[in-house]
Amino acid sequence: MDGLKALFTTILLSGTLCACVSAPSDVSAIPSSPGTPARSSQLEQSVASGRPAKPPSGYLAFCERNPGECRVIRNQPSTVRFTQETWEKLETVNNVVNEAIRPLDDDEHYGVAEFWTVPVDGQGDCEDYVLAKRKMLALLGLPGAALRITVVLNGDLVRHAILTVVTDRGDYVLDNAQRDIVPAEKTGYRGIERQDAASPTGWIAMN
């Protein structure tokens, strides 16, 4: 396929999940027992005391170029109901995007330090993976308010972007740095800032 455009089209036209993902046979196979919220994580604890934060410059520039991608829909649910169908969508999108995009820094790709975009050319950095996953999950019907771009520090204290999906069973992280979707408390990341529609700026500080 030529980039993510073809993947978006395939998902929309098929109306189903692609067969490349081996989903759990039942909801009990999904991480965390059914009906049991994932225990509070460092990321989630940080969110609880979060204060308004200035959005990342790359995100602001992305929104200026693509206002429709950043429009806040009033009364949209801020959490996703965690079901087998939800899990299959998360796994499908995470695997498809991670396999479709080749990692490439913005400096080499675009000649600038920060350029956030949906990478339809099949190359991008961590923010681009996140934007692609967020777009695909929104196309599959998940509410945008529950799909939170999160900026963290990884184990090497390097800034990194992940997609946090807020569900009624806790937060789950989609990450280009690892194949598996994991509960937020299992990432080992330290939160810096995250999207939050309740904040006047649309973002909250996590430290």
Beta carbons of 165 and 133 less than 8 angstroms apart: no
Residue 34 within any structural domain of the chain: no
Q: Is residue 44 part of a domain?
A: no
Residue 46: C-alpha distances to residues 78, 131, 192 (Å): 18, 23, 9
pLDDT digits (tens, 9 = 90+) for 15-57: 333 323 333 334 444 554 334 444 444 555 555 557 999 999 9
List of residues 6+ apart from 195 with CB closer than 8 A: 148, 149, 150, 202, 203, 204
Give pLDDT tens digits for 89-116. 999 999 999 999 999 999 999 999 999 9
Considering the domain boundaries, does residue 106 fall inside one? Answer: yes
Q: Decide if 30 is inside a domain.
A: no
pLDDT given at position 42: 52
In this structure, what CATH number is given to the domain that contains residue 96?
3.10.620.30
Indicate the pTM of the whole model: 0.82
User: Domain limits at 101?
Assistant: 53-66+77-205
In a domain, 1, yes or no: no
- Is residue 99 one of the residues assigned to a domain? yes
Counting the structural domains of the chain, the total is: 1
